[in-house]
């Protein structure tokens, strides 16, 4: 389902990418992996790699929206950062066991990655629009930056669509965007 299919050939070609292009590929791939039902750890690892890039760029550019996002819920960010660190490091904690991985963490982290990506001037793709729409439907209070506990409350309260419905609607939205290319990125 990945929209940016990479063509393999026998020629050795050096392909150059900007950090934003790499973030786009990682975020979009993670979204599509999420909707296809891939393992949540793989989705998290790929998505957080893209999120880290846009977060770093936003920090370098002193983007105000990043500060609002980070202040929104410290508990959520501690969980997201712990999961991300756990998935990529083992030097000091090689025998540790992750205490539990909530799949909603991926939905919300990817939502915020898309939010930063678009604020940095990135063009939102069909997959990004599908996930953003579904997250805003599932968590309508997402836009309340002033409540410091809103994100943790949303994870705990999961309302609206069931997990299976959420993933199916996401797959259908991306498929529709590909059939109707006016809605999707060229």
- Say what the pLDDT of residue 158 is: 44
Q: Is residue 8 part of a domain?
A: no
| Radius of gyration of the chain, Cα coordinates, nearest whole angstrom | 17
Q: Is residue 89 part of a domain?
A: yes
Q: Is residue 135 part of a domain?
A: yes
- Say what the pLDDT of residue 175 is: 79
Q: Is residue 7 part of a domain?
A: no
Measured CA to CA, the distance from residue 129 to residue 126 in angstroms comes to 5
Q: Is residue 176 part of a domain?
A: yes
Q: What number is the average pLDDT over the span 27-45? A: 92
Q: How would residue 126 be classed by pLDDT, with cut points 50, 70 and 90?
A: confident
CA 40 to chain centre: 12
The mean-pLDDT minimum among 29-38, 55-64, 66-75 falls in 66-75
Measured CA to CA, the distance from residue 28 to residue 2 in angstroms comes to 8
- Say what the pLDDT of residue 63 is: 84
Number of domains in the chain: 1
Domain that holds residue 124: 19-183
Question: 166-186 pLDDT, tens per residue?
Answer: 788 888 887 777 666 544 443
Q: Is residue 3 part of a domain?
A: no
pLDDT above 90 for 122? yes
Q: Is residue 30 part of a domain?
A: yes
Q: Is residue 14 part of a domain?
A: no
- Is the whole-model pTM more than 0.75? no
pLDDT above 80 for 28? yes
What's the angle, vertex CA 153, arms to CA 147 and CA 159, rounded to 5? 125
- Say what the pLDDT of residue 144 is: 54
């Amino acid at each position: 389902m990945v929209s940016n299919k990479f063509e393999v050939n026998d020629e050795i070609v050096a392909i150059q990418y900007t950090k934003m292009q790499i973030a786009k590929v990682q975020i979009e791939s993670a979204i599509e992996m999420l909707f296809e039902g891939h393992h949540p750890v793989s989705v998290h690892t790929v998505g957080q790699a893209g999120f880290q890039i846009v977060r770093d760029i936003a920090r370098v550019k002193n983007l105000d929206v990043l500060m609002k996002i980070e202040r929104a819920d410290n508990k959520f960010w501690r969980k997201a950062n712990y999961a991300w660190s756990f998935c990529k490091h083992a030097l000091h904690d090689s025998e540790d066991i992750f205490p539990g991985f909530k799949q909603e963490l991926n939905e919300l982290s990817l939502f915020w990655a898309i939010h930063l990506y678009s604020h940095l001037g990135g063009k939102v793709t069909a997959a990004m629009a599908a996930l953003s729409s579904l997250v805003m439907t599932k968590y309508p209070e997402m836009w309340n930056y002033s409540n410091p506990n809103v994100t943790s409350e949303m994870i705990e309260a999961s309302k609206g669509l069931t997990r299976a419905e959420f993933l199916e609607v996401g797959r259908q939205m991306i498929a529709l965007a590909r059939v109707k290319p006016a809605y999707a990125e060229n």
